[in-house]
Chains A and B, each alone.
Chain A
Amino acid sequence: MLTRKRYNYTGYLYILPWIIGFLLLQLVPLINSFWYSFTNFQLLGDPKFLGLENYKKIFTADPTFLQSLKVTSYYVLIAVPLKISFALVIAIILNQNIKGINLFRTLYYIPSILGGSVAISVLWKYLFMNQGVVNNLIGQFGFKAVDWLGDPRFALGTISLVTVWQFGSSMLLFLAGLKQIPVSQYEAARIDGAGRMRIFWQITIPELSPIILFNLIMQMINAFQDFTSAFVITQGGPLKSTYLYGLMLYDQGFKFFKMGYSSALSWILFAIILFFTSLTFRSSESWVHYGDSL
């Protein structure tokens, strides 16, 4: 290699803010959090080294950890697939030459702008209260009132609805992807006599698979850390049935000021997220198709 790239060091000047930010506000905190996780750190005072004590306690002597892990897994398993499949189906319907597509797209997207806010959590609480609107509505059809937020069997589902309600942003990504699929592919399939379901499974899904993967990964990472709706609507209750992992991290760190213990919990969550995202990436080799059209 005789030709060497010509370097222009001015580039460093432009990315300098990020380099400082990355080192100071991401890398150093990451290392610190790992260190704290092996210490007893009560906010006031210095961290004291404990070895594996925090982790041992989490896995052997903390029943709320297991409960929270269970609740969070259910939540991620319910909310993420529902949200993504919903987004996909709606995007496909919207993509078939619908008049007023812009209006529908906007209406479906609005919840995504507001979803994480306290206002929406408050609204949800009112909608699903015992004497709330939802019970009034189903009462009109002769159904008995359901204790949406007070019954441990339903509370998590009610919280998950807030998440699924925000399918709009995934939908926009799918819509953009659908526009990229060449019409010729569909026509060829039709000439071959493929039915609608076959076209869906053999053309639409494979062509969209990179976007499905992206959505799946990002939504999973977010869902594992969700906090606001469970904190505001149910405070993790009833009977810790909506005690998401984020709530546990907050309680341990900022209510009980156990910074070391909370850091250990956060590293376990990190490991879980890493495990599931790499599992998804691994599996993607068999179902994600990188055609040249995307």
Chain B
Amino acid sequence: MIKRKTPVTKFLSYFFLIVLAYIMTYPLLWMIGAAFKSNEEIFGTIGLLPKNPMFGAFAAGWKGTGQYGFSTFLYNTFLMVIPTVVFTAVSATLIGYGFARFEFPFKKTLFTIMLSTMMLPATVILIPRYIFFRNLGWLDSYLPFIVPAMLGCFPFFNFMMVQFFRGLPLELDESGKLDGCNSFIILKDLLLPLCKSAIFSVIVFQFVWTWNDFLNVLIYISSVAKYPVALGLRMTMDISTEFNWNQIMAMSLISIAPPIVLFFAAQKYFVEGIATTGMKN
């Protein structure tokens, strides 16, 4: 195995990794290029860079074709995603703390139930949940996304926080108790500052999942005025003539920007979080 580090194998590894990186990012690079190309150029050439970069596609796509432009769709997405993400982070922290730091009857059973719901296929409860939310009059609102987040219905994140709290030294809690702090103060003042990387991971994951979610918004959101980008983009694709490729690529680009920006901003914590807890997709 000493042979493994010969210049040739090293070179081959790098060559392979670079080619692969190019293939992996090619679709995205093409999307960026296409957003600045004219419609004739998009499919006429295979070059990535536009010959005469134009910005018209962004302006036209932003305005949209119907009554509601892309700014509305973006605004709606934030309106849906931000409360969902914040409540997920809060509920997962509380639940994780509860399971990791307290002994109470049936704790093991409850924890096992929570773990097994991680494997419950979401499609099985899709229809009853829809009926339930309809009976509450919550259709065409963002409550079907926000309320489950408040109630810790994302067992994956709860589990992630449990694992994280278990890794924090118990001495912290003990010292807090000696100082006469109650359990909530211990959580808020002593443990929370150490949970940054875990909470960031929850935030990034949940932001990305909710942002990208399509099936649920398709089911729950019916009026165009409340469309998030996922629905807005599909509608634009369906109703616009085939020749508006550059506009659609420009809007697709804008719609994937927020998750990417957040990922890069929180990357350090995020990769740590994945490494310690495992993830879904």
Which residues of A does B touch, CB under 8 Å? 5-15, 17-22, 24-26, 28-30, 32-33, 36, 43, 90, 93-94, 96-98, 104-108, 110-120, 122-124, 126-127, 129, 131-133, 136-137, 140, 165-166, 169, 172-173, 175-176, 186, 190, 196, 199, 211, 214, 217-218, 221-222, 224-225, 227-228, 231-232, 246, 249-250, 253-254, 259, 262-263, 266-267, 269-270, 273, 277
B119 beta carbon closer than 8 Å to chain A: yes
Bound-state CA distance A5–B98 (Å) is 16
Distance from B181 Cβ to chain A, minimum over Cβ atoms (Å): 13
CB pair B94 A17 closer than 8 Å: yes
Interface residues of B in 89-112 (CB under 8 A from A): 91, 94-95, 97-99, 101-105, 107, 110
Distance from A27 Cβ to chain B, minimum over Cβ atoms (Å): 9
Set of chain B residues within 8 Å of A106, measured between Cβ atoms: 267
Known: A14-B98, A119-B233, A253-B130. 5 other contacts (CB 8 A): A21-B152, A98-B13, A115-B281, A120-B256, A269-B124
Distance from B130 Cβ to chain A, minimum over Cβ atoms (Å): 8
Interface string of B199-212 (1 = CB under 8 A from A): 00000000011011
Bound-state CA distance A266–B124 (Å) is 5
B192 beta carbon closer than 8 Å to chain A: no
Set of chain B residues within 8 Å of A277, measured between Cβ atoms: 119
CB pair B124 A172 closer than 8 Å: no
Stretch at the interface among B26-34, B49-57, B60-68, B78-86: B26-34
B239 beta carbon closer than 8 Å to chain A: no
Bound-state CA distance A231–B237 (Å) is 13
Bound-state CA distance A71–B214 (Å) is 21
How would you classify the secondary structure of chain A's contact residues: helix, strand, loop or mixed? helix
Interface string of B216-248 (1 = CB under 8 A from A): 001100000000011101100100000001001
CB pair A126 B34 closer than 8 Å: yes
| 5 A-B pairs closest in CB distance | A11-B102, A14-B98, A21-B151, A29-B128, A119-B252
CB pair B234 A232 closer than 8 Å: yes
Known: A30-B124, A122-B233. A136 touches B105 (CB 8 A): no
CB pair A136 B281 closer than 8 Å: no
Set of chain A residues within 8 Å of B260, measured between Cβ atoms: 110, 113-114
Known: A21-B151, A29-B128, A114-B259. A96 touches B4 (CB 8 A): yes
Name B132's closest neighbour in chain A (CB-CB).
A29
Distance from B275 Cβ to chain A, minimum over Cβ atoms (Å): 4
CB pair A113 B104 closer than 8 Å: no
Contact of B43 among A113, A136, A250 (CB under 8 A): A136
Set of chain A residues within 8 Å of B104, measured between Cβ atoms: 7-9, 11-12
CB pair B28 A110 closer than 8 Å: yes
Bound-state CA distance A114–B24 (Å) is 12
B150 beta carbon closer than 8 Å to chain A: yes
Bound-state CA distance A242–B128 (Å) is 26
Q: List 5 A-B contacts (CB under 8 A).
A: A11-B103, A17-B94, A25-B129, A119-B233, A119-B255
Name A104's closest neighbour in chain B (CB-CB).
B17
Known: A8-B102, A117-B255, A196-B1. A25 touches B148 (CB 8 A): yes
B153 beta carbon closer than 8 Å to chain A: yes
CB pair B274 A173 closer than 8 Å: yes
Set of chain A residues within 8 Å of B20, measured between Cβ atoms: 90, 108
CB pair A117 B214 closer than 8 Å: yes
Distance from A150 Cβ to chain B, minimum over Cβ atoms (Å): 15
CB pair B281 A26 closer than 8 Å: no
CB pair A21 B120 closer than 8 Å: no
Set of chain A residues within 8 Å of B97, measured between Cβ atoms: 14
Known: A11-B102, A110-B28, A277-B119. A227 touches B14 (CB 8 A): no
CB pair A17 B234 closer than 8 Å: no
Set of chain B residues within 8 Å of A166, measured between Cβ atoms: 281
Set of chain B residues within 8 Å of A254, measured between Cβ atoms: 218-219
Bound-state CA distance A133–B260 (Å) is 24
